[in-house]
């Protein structure tokens, strides 16, 4: 059902895709069910239905990512900040907020958010260096200094 939903989603048949994802969400594999529920929300958004009910930090994060893709920076920032209130150790939330702040032109805020994202998960440094969404900002200070590869002692 999930694969069929993906195919239908890519074909922009959102109503049919939503139905398949909803069925897949009832499946026994927790990760697949979670991914399917996220895609149900994406289909709902594409169909123009009411804003999905955002109950958890992850819900807010997923919707904020969709808003970032739609270049709706202010709304995305608001949701990410709310998600961080609920989940203050969410490195992925700080990472997404850093990207959002870059697009809003707040490089100092982006630096602070990325710094916290890296503190929580050092892999975020590598991810940001390789993330095409960060490419326009990775060479701008102060973010550029933060994203430089760390040197091992003795190098």
Q: pLDDT tens for residues 25-79? A: 888 888 888 888 888 888 888 777 556 678 899 989 988 988 888 888 999 999 9
The string of DSSP codes covering 16-76 is HHHHHHHHHTTSS-HHHHHHHHHHHHHHHHHTT-SPPP--SHHHHHHHHHHHHHTT-HHHH
pLDDT at 109: 96
> What's 100's DSSP letter?
H
pLDDT at 155: 45
Tell me the two tokens of residue 149: 């590869």
Q: Could you tell me the domains of the chain?
A: 1-52 (no CATH), 72-155 (1.25.40.10)
pLDDT at 81 over 90: yes
Token pair 């069929």 is at which residue? 4
Q: pLDDT tens for residues 87-100? A: 999 999 999 999 99
């Amino acid at each position: 059902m999930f694969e069929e939903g993906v195919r239908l989603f890519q074909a922009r048949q959102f109503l049919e895709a939503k139905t398949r994802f909803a069925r897949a969400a009832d499946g026994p594999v927790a990760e697949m069910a979670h991914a399917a529920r996220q895609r149900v929300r994406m289909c709902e958004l594409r169909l123009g239905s009411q804003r999905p009910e955002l109950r958890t930090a992850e819900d807010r994060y997923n919707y904020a990512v969709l808003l970032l893709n739609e270049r709706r920076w202010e709304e995305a920032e608001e949701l990410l900040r709310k998600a961080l209130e609920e989940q203050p150790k969410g490195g992925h939330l700080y990472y997404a907020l850093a990207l959002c702040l870059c697009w809003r032109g707040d490089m100092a805020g982006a630096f602070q958010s990325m710094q916290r994202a890296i503190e929580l998960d050092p892999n975020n440094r590598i991810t940001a260096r390789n993330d095409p969404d960060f490419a326009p900002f990775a060479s701008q200070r102060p973010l550029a200094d933060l994203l430089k590869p760390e040197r091992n002692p003795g190098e």
